[in-house]
Amino acid sequence: MERLPFIAGNWKMNKTVGEAVDLVRELKASLAGVQGVEVAVAPPFTALYAVWKELEGSSIHLAAQNLYWEEKGAFTGEVSPIMLKEVGCHYVIIGHSERRQFFGETDETVNRRIKATLTQGLKVIFCIGETLNEREGGKTFSVIERQVEGGLKGFGDKKIENMVIAYEPVWAIGTGKTATPEQAEEVHRFIRGKLEKLYSREVSDKIRIQYGGSVTPENVKGLMSQRNIDGALVGGASLKGESFSKIVRFKEL
């Protein structure tokens, strides 16, 4: 079935409020009139409100890079789904490999964050992926299976429909290395098959699966030509208006 391509920019810990507003202003102009693709940007928490106000009237969605699973309370330094909803967020990135690698994220905490996000009516970009050691050790599919099962534990069909999955091989993030379109497609096909086993063919056909890992204007078209790759979660190349706009306009490359 036809799935709407989805290109999201994860800015990570980059951009002051002023820089963030300048970038989305540039993106609004360069992407005006683009059709047939969904677009989102994920600034740091400090810039969310200002970016939301700047994006008003445009078709670009706002995403957050993380959240905590409680609605409020004595959790110093955390941000709740209610707070993110209030500042205009549409999506939340959950389980990014950097959260897993540097901040102790586990499949269990990913599951709790997803549950909290969906409860508030927000949509999820659920990240999964293997490390270089795991790939070289032949563990790619077992790792992906564990992460999918752990992250989606307890969710029915209706909940899953508000989710995008992002496959991001850890060895390709910020390294300049990219999985070949064929390598990425192999894992995307496996993920879709796993979703079919957990839910149904109908559900698995609907879910969009992004690829994340050193996506650039030079490699995006090859990746997007694959049957099971439905978009990209873009890191470094999303920090410049020109490169991100080219990725969004991949059909024109």
Q: CA–CA separation, 159 vs 149, rounded Å?
A: 14
Q: Does some domain include residue 221?
A: yes
Q: Does some domain include residue 192?
A: yes
Q: Does some domain include residue 224?
A: yes
Q: Does some domain include residue 1?
A: no
Positions marked active-site: 96, 168
| CATH number for the domain that contains residue 15 | 3.20.20.70
Q: Following CA atoms 33, 248, 79, 209 in sequence, which dihedral angle do they give, to the nearest 10 degrees?
A: 120
Q: CA–CA separation, 40 vs 73, rounded Å?
A: 29
Q: Does some domain include residue 245?
A: yes
Res. 1 pLDDT band, cuts 50 70 90:
confident
- Whether pLDDT at 159 is above 90: no
In terms of pTM, does the model score above 0.95?
A: yes
Range of the domain at 196: 6-252
Contacts of 253 (CB under 8 A, 6+ apart): 217, 220, 221, 246
Q: Does some domain include residue 212?
A: yes
Mean pLDDT of 91-100: 97
Tally of structural domains, the chain: 1
3-state DSSP helix/strand/coil percent for the chain, to nearest 5?
45, 15, 40
| φ/ψ bin of 124: left (φ > 0), alpha (ψ from -120 to 50), beta (otherwise) | beta
Q: Does some domain include residue 127?
A: yes
Q: Does some domain include residue 134?
A: yes
Question: What is the tens place of the pLDDT at every residue in 163-206?
Answer: 999 999 998 887 777 789 999 999 999 999 999 999 999 999 99
